[in-house]
Each structure stands twice: as structure tokens, then as C-alpha cells.
Amino acid sequence: MNVDRYAARILPPELQGLTELAFDMRWSWNHGGDAMWRAVDPELWEFSHDPWLMIETVSTRRLEELAKDKTFLAELTRQLEERERRMRESTWFERSHGRDALGTVAYFSMEFGLSEALPIYSGGLGVLAGDHMKTASDLGVPIIGVGLLYQRGYFRQALDHNGEQVACYPYNAPSMLPVRPLRDARGDWTRVELRFPGRMLYVRAWEVMVGRVRLWLLDTNDPLNHPADRGITGELYGAEPEIRFQQEIILGVGGWRLVEQMGVDARVCHLNEGHAAFAILERARQFMLRSGQPFKVALRCTRAGNVFTTHTPVAAAFDVFAPEMFGEYANRFAAAVGVGVEELLALGRANPRDPREPFNMAYLAARGAASINAVSRLHGEVSRRIFRPLFPRLPLAEVPISHVTNGVHMPSWDSQFADELWTESCGKGRWLGELEEIESNLGCISDEVLWSARSHARQALIEYVRLHLRRQRAMRGADPRQLEQCERLFDTNTLTIGFARRFASYKRPTLLLTDPARLIRLLNDPMRPVQLFVAGKAHPNDTEGRRMVRQWSEFATRREVEGKAAFLEDYDLAMAAHLVQGVDLWINTPRRPWEACGTSGMKVLVNGGLNLSELDGWWAEAYSTDVGWALGDALEHDADPRWDAVEAEALYRLLEEQVVPAFYARDARGMPVGWIARIRASMSKLTPRFSSNRMMREYVERYYLPAATDYRRRSAGHGENGAALQSWYERLAAGWAQLHFGNVEVVKVGEQHLFVAHVYLGEVDADAVRVELYAEPADGATPEVYVMTRGESLAGAVNGYIYTAAVPAVRPSTDYTPRIVPDHPQARLPLEANLVMWKS
């Protein structure tokens, strides 16, 4: 295919800079150029807010006019100079760690939610990935994103005359997207070749500019491919298992191959969920080619630089594939790396010896990474339970999964009014450093200024909803009178509640509809009215989710709630931004603990919105009485309909008795002083904590930098250290069954228990293990672990020793169990050596 077909539109020489500005998706969170783009074509701007689409579609006559407009050209020059200045500025990463500390992080994700202008996302996972990329740009963290460019992506939602969800799949024409072919050093369009059963697959690479960082996207819509293969990257999360499997091969194997092909020094590979776990195998293969080491050593070397983030709250959500399908695609790879297919299959199984067990992508990610993290504190607890099958002999508390609570990219989600407020109190660079003074600085903003910003944002949301409803009704053939009526719906001074997310059963999107009559009374209270905006999509194959969409659609069309409630079709990033910027209260009602994090509520923080949420995900660690309201008892009740009824009642009572009265309790000036106090506390305390700035700094300092250091150490000298570590592990595993305890005695010495254990190590080097005393956590604390000291050899024994330890006698000695565990200064334990021998 002629790549020039995908070149940007040729603009007049005076306007060439527009292409550069439009291609850089920094415009999606830096709104300094909005006025300039509005001047290009006000109507097109209001419709799209997409600079790339504008320069591709605006009339030639208008471009010629702009090329002669000195005022416009001066603003264009100013925007280009400002962008250049920003790109040259020192960043947090450079100041804190230096440019060369990390090399590059290759960040793999099945979806990226940067903007509605690039529709390659479906929900929270993609939005998180988009915010991750934007934050890396802000802080100067060297990252390259790797994903897929879908021809249709995720579905767009419409409702028919009966309120039924209709799935639409418009084509994503690359020429209308802010992407361009990724070119190599010779200027050729970069392609990656993958060997599929019986044929070669040609994968094209595209580039997206995200401020300082780049996103590379792969697609198979190449004329050289078979027609069926051209559609592999058609829909996000292909419905057919084999299509999904192929997508994950392209993302993981093709993605890492692209990174290598472009000569990137990617010391860290970050897997945002297990979809891209095949990158682990391809990375090891590439290291084999460079080092000459065997596959196991290559995997030991490269896993040191792999980071795995799990977002899954239930094991059933992991991607699993039939062994037969895996074998069909893995035969050639297995032969190339010198191992059997069964050995590869074992990496993705809880029981490596079970030939019937499917291949689990999350298990592969866990076995090929040096660190695993969940996305909230509570999700860390849940994930340790989910991954327990991989660590069957470890106590639950020691399953090696930590957490980094998600954050959101605040500049992408703040309204114009919130941005002005934050700039006045905290300065323009508030999200570019370490957020140390935000809480105290925000305290200087008066109640009047806070409330004025909230009122303006609420009005802006109402104007958006009116316009959206007008278009929504017009699509269903409403008459002119009905369309005109949209202009008078809703009220600027009414408490405005938002609820928007993916419609899935565990999120309980219809909990607020449990008693429709009670909700109608709440909305229509003459003294304290409420208005409600609801949005969300159900997966096309989710019958129950589609039923819940229909319930809300039908409720919102009831005459009793006209002008009080609306269901907004086609929830996307643009709509999400309007909602979180304007609502007074955000409601979230998942079943605990099935919301891994739930970042939607974080997005209202920067705008002064408050949260009423189940004590799940991030809200379980954020909630206090001064920042919002909580639902639930912080316990797990599974999908019990009786408990759903209890929480529905609690939700109504919270709204009726606390939330609504707090909003309408006014002082002599008409100010809701108590409500504003909550706004101030929420904005100042929670916004810094749940900013992606904090999240990114955690990833850099707790995960990326240690991973880069370990990878460099293991891979040095063609992997000599990695080979030594693999040799240590193989000797340890071979001799582990010989390890056992002899006598163990405990005596009370003063205020201590003295343990004396006889330990027989067989042929295992005594320096390769550690003998410990373990006690389960007491009163919800962390486990107690005491290292026992190796003493003299046991008389007459070969490689047997006396181990001793003294522990405080505050607990019974029977609480402590001796055990033997691996020990190596360079191994990530227990993740890399999942062995433990307990005293029976």
C-alpha cells in the first residue's frame, strides 16, 4: 500500500505548524490552544473538539483565509513557541533521577484511552493507560506505549424506540485519526512479521505523539494479508477466542519485536494486565539471540525487568485459552527457543503437569515478571486470594502481590472553572512536581470562590446535557416542539447527581432503581429537588447488562421525571469529562470487592464534586466522614439479593437524610457551608493522593528503577549473573525434597521463647536457604517472621545444622512454625523461587 495515502493533509506553508500541534495529543489535556482551534471553524470545534479531524475536514477556502490572517498566524507562532518551551523544560524525572537512570519503559496495554478522537478504548483499563501516558509526559518519565490500532474498536451505543441498546461499529479511518505511519531510520513504514499457522502475518506500525512520549500501535489491515487476517485488529477484545488469542500474540510478540526492531533500550517491560504477556516470551527469545544463553537463563535474565499490573477482581475474568489452540500457534516458537510446547504451557498453568488445564495469560505474566501489583489496597488483598493457586504452600499474606492504587490525570479531567481555581491557588505547574503544598495552598481559596466555580461547572454540564438530549431525540425522530423543549430542561441551582460506568451486574447500576417511586419522590421534592444524569454501556453479549440499560432508558422517559433525570447515550471520554466536571455528587454502587479500583469517582475530586460510594476499590482507602459518604459495611456479601436490598435502602436513606439536606442547608448568604467544607476537604486531601502524578512516581521509584537495575545486573556479560541465578535455582529445586527438620525444642528463657531446631539440608548449600519461624498475623497486623541463626553442625550428620532463634514470649510458642525458604541476594523471593518446607 502506498503510505503517502496516510500522510497528513497538505496545508498552506503558513499553516504547516497546525499539523504538528494537531498530531501531538497534548491538546487533549492542555487547553491553551483551544481558542486558536475554535477560530479555525467554531461549529466544527464545538462538534468534535478534535484538532486532527479539523485540519483534515475544514474547507480549503477557510485554510486560505487563515493563511492570510495575521492575528491567527501570530497565535499559531505563539502556540508553537510555547510547545517548544514546554518540551525543553526540566522535568521531575530528570531532576530526581537523571536522564539515563531508567533507559525506556515499554508499556503494553490492550487499550489506551487518550481522547475520544482516538477510539481504541472500552473502559477503565484503557483510560488508566491513557492517563499513565499523559503523566509520563508531564513528569518526563521515558515511556513508549505499545497497543493495537483497531479498525472499529469498541462499539458505539445508540438506543432504539424501545430503549434497547444498539451496538454500532463505525470505521476508524487512519487518515481521520491522530496517527501516522511509524517510520524507520530509512524512512520506510515499519512492519513486523509474525509466523502464524500456514502463513506469514504482516503487521503495520503507527505512531501517536503524547507530549514527550510516544504510543506505537499495531494493526493487521494490510493488503498483503489474507482477508480474514486483515480483520484480526478489527474490534477491541474480539469476541471469538481465536481472534482474541491472535490479538494477544500481535500485542505481546509483535509489540516486543517492534520495540527491538526500532532499537529502543527498553530495560523495563510493564504489562498493564495479562493480555500482553506473550511479550515475556518474545523478550526472552530476543535475549537468547543476543547472548547465546538457553531459554531458561534468558527468561531468568529478562524477567527481572518485567512488571505486571493486574486489574482483575475475579479469577473468572482472566484470559484463558485451550491447550490445543496454544500448541498450534506455539510449535514454531517452542522449536526456536529449544523447549517443548508443554514447557511453555506450564508457564500458564496453576498445575504445570495437568495436560487438560487451559493456558492462563495472567499466570504467564506472574511467572515471567519480577513484581506484581494490584491497583488498590483492597484489590491487593483480593489478588493475593486469586493468585493463591500459584503459591499453594505460602500463607495468604505472603503471596507476592503488592499494590499501587490507581490515580487519574487531573489536567485531563478538570473543568475550565476548576483549572482557574487551581491555578490561582497552586500555580500552573501544580501537577508537575511532588504535590507537597497543594493541600495548604488550596485552603486559601474562599468559600465564595469555591461555590462560584461549582455553580459555573454545573451550569456548563446542564448546557451540554441539553444539547446532547436534543441530538439524541432528533436521532429518534422527535418533532420540533420536543427538540425545542430540551432547551428548558434541568435547573442550574438543583443538586446534580451523576452515575456513569460500564453496565455489568457486579456494578449494580440499577440499585438506585430498586424503588422507582421513592426515587421519583426524591427527584421531585418541591423544596429540595434533585436531578440525575445516568450514562453507560453494556457489552453487546451481556443480556443482563442490556436489560439494565433499558431500565434506565425507560425510567428517564417517564413523564414524572422529565427535566429531572436523563439517560445519555454513547458514554465516551468526552461525555465522562462533562459529567465529572459538573456533577455535585458521584455515585458508585459495586458489589465489594469486585471493583478493583474504580477511578471514575477520582475524576470528580479535582472539580469539587463529592462521592457517595460503596466501600470498595479506592474509596475503601479514601473515605472519611468529612470528604463524602460511604455505602456498605466493609464486608463481602457476594451476589446476595437480600444484601442488595439492604444497601438500596441505605442508599435512599443516605440521600434523603444526609446528602440532600447538606446541599440545601444554607446560611444567610445562601451558601451551603457544610457542603463547601466537604468540597474543600475532598479537593485538598484526596486530589493529591489520587492523582496519577503520585501513582507514576510510585511506579518509577518502587518498580521501574529497581527493575531496570536488576535487569542490567542479570544481563551483564551476556547474562552471566542470570545464568548463575538459574543454576542456583535448579540446584535448589533438585535437592528441595531432601530438606527436612529433625528435633525442634522450645524453652522459656525469661521473657523469651528459645527455639532450637535440627535441620538437614541434604545436598542443598546452607547459604542457599534461610530457616525461619513464622506466625500468622495477630490482630490484623502483618505476619511475624524471625530468621533463625545457623550454628554448629549436627554430630554425625552430612550438611545438618543446629538453628536457633529467640522471640518475645508475648504469644504462645505454638503460634510459631519453623520453615525453610530459599535465600539469594539477587532473587525476587518468593516470586522467583516458590519453594517452602514447613515443619510438619
Selection from 641, 619, 644, 642 nearest residue 630 by Cα:
619
| Cα angle: 519, vertex 577, 148; to 5 degrees | 120
> Burial code of 291-316, b = ≥16 C-beta within 10 A, e = fewer?
bebbbbbbbbbbbbbbbbbbbbbebe
Nearest-CA neighbor of 570 among 122, 43, 110, 49?
122
Please provide residue 148's backbone torsions phi and psi, each rounded to the nearest 5 degrees.
-120, 145
Structural domain boundaries in the chain: 3-88, 102-406+700-716, 410-426+444-687, 739-838
Give me the helices (H) in 98-153, please.
Answer: 124-139
Positions of the chain with pLDDT lower than 50, given as ranges: 1-5
- In CATH, the architecture of 739-838 is Sandwich (2.60)
Of 447, 565, 412, the closest CA to residue 31 belongs to: 412
Amino acid at 45: W
> Which residue shows C-alpha cell 468559600?
447
Same fold, 410-426+444-687 and 739-838: no
- The interaxial angle of helices 60-67 and 70-88, nearest 10 deg, is 80
- Alpha carbon distance 435, 685 (integer Å): 11
Residue 629, sorted as left (phi over 0), alpha (psi -120 to 50) or beta, turns out to be: beta
Q: What does the alpha-carbon distance between residue 445 and residue 448 come to, in Å, rounded to a whole number?
A: 8
How many CA within 13 A on the CB side of residue 64?
Answer: 3
Q: Are 391 and 383 in contact (CB under 8 A)?
A: no
288, containing H or E segment: helix 278-291
Q: What is the pLDDT of residue 4?
A: 41
Task: Determine which helix (DSSP H) or strand (DSSP E) holds 35, and give its type and residue range.
Answer: helix 34-40
Q: Does domain 102-406+700-716 have CATH number 3.40.50.2000?
A: yes
What cell was used for 442?
Answer: 488550596
CB 146 within 8 A of CB 132: no
Residue 279 contacts residue 256 (beta carbons within 8 Å): yes
Can you list the positions of beta strands (E) in 619-735?
628-631
Write the pLDDT tens digit of every residue in 146-157.
999 999 999 999
Residue 714 makes CB contacts below 8 A (sequence gap 6+) with 300, 301, 304, 721, 722, 725, 826
Mapped to the 3 state alphabet, what secondary structure does 228-271 carry?
Answer: HHHCCCCECCCCCHHHHHHHHHHHHHHHHHHHHHCCCCEEEEEE
DSSP alpha helix (H) spans, 338-446? 341-346, 361-367, 377-386, 410-413, 416-426, 438-442
Q: Are 513 and 551 in contact, with CB atoms under 8 Å apart?
A: yes
Q: Does domain 410-426+444-687 have CATH number 3.40.50.2000?
A: yes
